[in-house]
Structure 1
Amino acid sequence: MKTKILLGLLLAGFSSYAQNTTAQYFNLTRAGFKENNAYETTAFVEKYFRVPGNTGFNASIRRVESILKKAGFVEQKQNEFEAPLTYRIEKRAMKNKTWEPVNANIDIVGEAQPLISFKTNRNMIPINCASTPAEGVTAEVVYVEKVIPAELEKMDLKGKILFSENNPSRLLASAVKVGAVGVLGYSMPKYSQPEVHQTSIQFGSMRANSDVWTLLLSYAAKEKLKAACKKGPIKLKVNIETKIYQSEELTVVANVKGSEKADERFVFSAHVQEPGANDNASGVGTLAEMARLTAELYQAKKINPKRTLTFLWGDEIVSTRRYITEDTTRAKGILWGMSLDMVGEDTRKTGGSFLIEKMPDPSAIWTRGTDKHTEWGAGDVKEKDLFPHYFNDFIFDICKTQGKFANWTVNYNPFEGGSDHTPFLQAKIPGLLMWHFTDVFYHTDNDRIDKVSPTEMKNVGISALTAAYSLVSADENMASATVAQVKTDALTRLKTEFDLSKKAIAEGKSAADEKHIIETWSKWYIDALATINKMPVKAETTRVGSSIKVATLEIEKQTKAYLAALK
């Protein structure tokens, strides 16, 4: 009994120490993060339709470079640790040419106002679409209500424009076969509420080097054109201007060198490509301000990270995966990865809330209770894919603390994938996603700067930096406090799952299956506790290991009690 009381007192002391350390980082980041900086960078980046290698992508990269240089980062000449603050721009030849839109118009012949134009809908031109002749193309449009490729290829479409309520890229092959000059299509998911937001178009792409152009329509333009077609034959005049040219792909990597274990690091990633403000100019702007603030605090000797902090801007998934895989020695030192993607949402306008997408835990397999997947869609996660680690609970706890302080809504969702956290996980590196969903303007040309909140970016930046500062310099006290936190979270989760399983059995579900869910959660958390052993920069005693053993025994005891109660 004395031993348990003493251990409890020690854990309470460690927790208090860790809380004080994290509180100091919160004070620094809350005082230093300048949301207007993040917002101004976001506004600059969102002006462009960004594809790797094109004018807008490269201008965004150079904008980040100017922020880094002004903050005190020096350009790397030989290696990334030749100075405390370094950055480099990696340049790579591209196999395929880059692309950028310039202008487009669709006019119904005989009407004064255009059906739709690039000035209001820059997503109307799919990526890789070529230009029409300078004078444009005038042709009859044929509306096909139900598309059956075999039937479509029997129709007289030579020299005409095919129009259907389908993604135009799916009709391209058939259009080429029948000699159509172009395809007009429509493709909007229900969660974007197209009947409400009638001018929205989600960006798309088409096969490069095609002789047939394709364009996307908004709900309003689609309905207007469909009504016109049903009245009788009509002609459209279509003008498209794009640029397709050889270029190089750029990636920015900045480092704040760790003072003790420089080869171990926390990596932040924000992708530059895509045309939206929230997706993902907001990630670029937020991460740029995070890097600026980190340099400022380092130079003022207010922080002294023991491990390295790395900031990366590039092509989504591609740049992050390359950073991990092209240098296996460097990859071994990546202890945590975080993707900042769609982090600036003004949720009053876009809907949804801030989310942390968890690493694969059992909720990605058994999604029930308050857990729910977003409209983005669940992945196919199996038990072999589960990734037990303290990172989930640690980051969520940091964000909840900021949420309570700033009256900021913080939620989470089970793993789904699809952003820069995925390459970390594929390399067996803990990786999380900070994002927002549902966003009714997701991937649409209505994702503009007026939908971005500087306050939201500040809350995200504060949380992300405070977590990173805490982890890269973690000591045994921080680790022991994390053990207590994860144990509490585990017991809370087990109680929740027990209640759900008890109800499921009462409704006729298999007791064996329900017990398996409890057992899987228990194992996930026990394995997550074990990973805390590697958190401290220096392991000076056996304190952390001992606290993990005690917490594990408590979880195992409670699990047995729940399993016995499930009959």
Structure 2
Amino acid sequence: MKQLLIISLHLLLLTAATAQTASREKKYFKLLQQTFNEQQAYKTVWFVEQRWRLAGNSGFNESIYEVEKILQQAGYTKETSGEATATLTYRIEKRPMKHVTWEPVDASLFIVGEKEPILQFRTNRNMIAMYSASTPTAGETAELVYIGKGSPQELDGKDLRGKIVMADGDIGGVYSNALKNGAIGALAYSMPSYNQPAKYTNSIQFEGIGYTDSLHQKWGLLLSYAAKEKLKAALAKGPTSVKVVVNTKIYASEELTIVANVRGRTRPDERFVFSAHVQEPGANDNASGVGTLAEMARTTAVLVQKGKVTPRRTITFIWGDEIVSTRRYIQDDSIRARGIKWGLSLDMVGEDIQKTGGTFLIEKMPDPSAIWTRGNEKHTEWGGGQLTESAMFPHYFNDLLLNRCLNEAANTGWVVRTNPFEGGSDHTPFLNARIPGLLMWHFTDAFYHTDADRLDMVSPAEMKHVGKSALATAFLLTTANDKTAAALISEITRNGLQRLQTEYELSKKAIQTGNEKEKEQHILEVWSDWYVKALATAIDITAEDTGTSVKQAIEKGQQQIKQQTAFYIERL
């Protein structure tokens, strides 16, 4: 009981310390509530989601230029040569693409003898596999042959010349294997269980086929559950022919990336970098990220111009090709990269969770929950491999962003959760460069990557929650003085003590059910080590020369973590 009272006292003192940050944070949230216009963000989503976006194609480029227009209207001026020293600037980077781009125009799929198509592009905008070529204007009609999963073994020795094939598998492999055997085109069905295809029978996930050259490229179509079942039913009755009409564009292009900067007043080379990818055709994925980030950039400009926020460090906003643009931003300038202190990706941030089933998540940097995923921790259906201890990335950024989101949730009822590291979006280039990087997203979404991911699945209110929390985090970290830094360190210490208490309770139960005591002690030791090292990284929070109070706060927090760990290990 005595020790529990000490724990409670520690948490109480830490809570009081973090109150020093509350007034500044409260001010930021109030300003953001007044200034962030969720309807403007929604309007941008509306513009972007109408366009089928792939790097280099017209839909992608039009979206980039729409963001440029928003930046210009907000007061950002275009750079003319190199990164400018004005407060609000932007540039559009243009690079010739090493490969061609692609965009869909129209398509339809008929069973010969039936008047109405079983699929048409107007209602299934993902039905054409990326990099499909066009058919002749009148289309192609041929016998349909079912080939199972379309594997090389299943096709061995089969003559498919002049046939259209249908398979249960990824279109890329089906297309490649079938064309080697003479097929003129391929139909494929492949839908993950989390898309609930038997319920949402008309959904299609976008996929692509390999590109060879303009002379040899053929077409591939993706099937919905309903279309697949209808074709199988027709084949069960006897020989079936289908007619396919496809119209696409494949052409050389250039890749565009737009970068905007709010230049820091005293440490401009140190920066907080936001990124949102433009490619992919969905409304949530990722028109919602584009729209939210555009409104965040506009909001920041308004507050800076009014003198309400004065970042000491630079805040950078990037819109481009997923992973590619962010990775290049980091790798192309080693001096610039050394100044990137935090990276935050916005991907699928606008979901109306009542419609999609997705939950707002912060994907954490690798911490021990990615090794021992237990208690309330769980991976999404996207999935993540179990990491090793050597892959850990101890840093305060995990908890600092989460705390801002939880503060927004406490006042609004917003649902906020986390998931262990999984990868696959714009946060990974930061982590690969050993820069703290996090992802704000939603999952599991029943309409993820499908043509049902349209504007009516997007919530303006959800985008505002994300935008406010993300900007409050950036404002705190780009303006922090020693007092703010010390208070944030106390807050992270509180998080660490709470995590240790949670893991201690889980370990006690695990031992009671037969787990080895040494293994459970080790889990606590790894968590302790993670937080001790995470607190050490907090030396860089302040945007001024680090003072004694910050160093003392780190040392005090580390001592409390170690003491608490020793207490728990002794009692396991």
Which TM-score band applies after superposition, normalised by the shorter structure? over 0.9
Shift of 1:380: 4.2
Range with greater deviation from structure 2 (285-294 or 146-155): 146-155
The 5-angstrom pairing of residues 408-447 of structure 1 reads 408-447=414-453
Q: Corresponding residue for 2:6? A: none
Per the alignment, residue 96 of structure 1 pairs with 99
Q: Give the equivalent residue in structure 1 for 2:301.
A: 295
* Corresponding position of 1:154: 157
- Where does 1:35-114 land on structure 2 (aligned, <5 Å)? 35-114=38-117
Q: What is the distance in 2 between the residues matched to 1:462 and 1:66?
A: 22
Distance 1:147 1:217 in 2: 15
1:298: how far off? Answer: 0.8
Deviation at 1:451, TM superposition (A): 0.3
Mapping of residues 283-362 of structure 1, within 5 Å: 283-362=289-368
Of 103, 123, 127, 2:126 maps to 123
**Distance (whole Å) between structure 2 residues aligned to residue 204 and residue 277 of structure 1:** 17
Once the two structures are TM-superposed, the CA of residue 513 in structure 1 deviates from its matched residue by 1.5
Once residues 249 and 261 of structure 2 are traced to their aligned partners in structure 1, the CA distance between those partners, rounded to angstroms, is: 35
CA contact (8 A) 1:256 1:295 kept: yes
The one-letter amino acid paired with 2:113 is G
Q: Judging changes above 3 Å, is the alpha-carbon distance between structure 1 residues 296 and 151 closer, same or farther for their aligned structure 2 residues?
A: closer
TM-score if structure 2 supplies the norm length?
0.96
Please give the secondary structure, in 2, of the residue aligned with 1:122: coil
Give the AA of the match of 1:247.
S
The answer for the alignment partner of 1:378 in structure 2 is: 384
Aligned Cα root-mean-square deviation (Å): 1.5
Number of aligned pairs?
A: 560
Q: List per-residue Cα deviations over 1:134-162 (Å, max 9, x = no partner).
A: 11100000123364523423223210011
Q: Residue 379 of structure 1: CA displacement?
A: 3.2
1:138 aligns with 2:141: yes
SS at 1:126's partner residue?
A: coil
Pairing 1:206–2:212 present? no
- Closer/same/farther in 2, CA of residues 145 and 540 from structure 1, 3 Å limit: closer
Q: TM-score, normalised by structure 1?
A: 0.97
The 3-state SS of whatever aligns with 2:158 is: coil
C-alpha distance in 1 between matches for 2:252 and 2:99? 7
2:558 corresponding residue in structure 1: 552
Q: Give CA-to-partner distance per residue, 1:453-489, whole Å, 9 cap, x none.
A: 0000011101111110011011111111112111111
Q: Which amino acid aligns with 1:96?
A: H
- Counterpart-to-counterpart distance in 2, 1:533 and 1:388: 13
Mean alpha-carbon deviation: is it higher for 545-554 or for 27-36?
545-554
Answer whether contact 2:133 2:250 (CA < 8 A) is retained: yes
Cα distance change, pair 234–295 in 1 and its aligned pair in 2 (3 A)? same
Determine which of 226, 236, 258 is the counterpart of 1:230.
Answer: 236
Indicate whether 1:266 and 2:269 are aligned.
Answer: no
Question: What does the per-residue CA deviation read over 1:302-339, in whole Å, with 9 as the maximum and x for residues that have no partner?
Answer: 11111000000000000000000100000010010000
CA shift in 2, pair 1:12/1:436, >3 Å: closer
How big is each residue's C-alpha offset from its partner over 1:56-113, in whole Å with a ceiling of 9 and x where there is no partner? 0000000000000010000001232331110000000001011000000011111011
The equivalent residue for 1:179 is 182
Segment drifting more, 154-163 vs 273-282: 154-163
2:373 is paired with a residue of what secondary structure?
coil
Pairwise CA distance, 1:8? 11
Deviating runs (4+, > 4 A) in structure 1? 7-14
Can you list the C-alpha shifts for 1:432-456, whole angstroms capped at 9, x where unaligned?
A: 1000001000000000001000000
Of all paired residues, the percent bearing the same amino acid is 56
Unaligned runs of 5+ in 2: 1-9
Counterpart in the other structure of 1:543: 549
- Tell me the distance in 2 between the aligned counterparts of 1:205 and 1:222: 18
2:538 equivalent to 1:532: yes
Task: Letter of the 1:386 partner, please give it.
Answer: M
Give me the whole-angstrom Cα distance separating, in 1, the residues matched to 2:273 and 2:378: 28
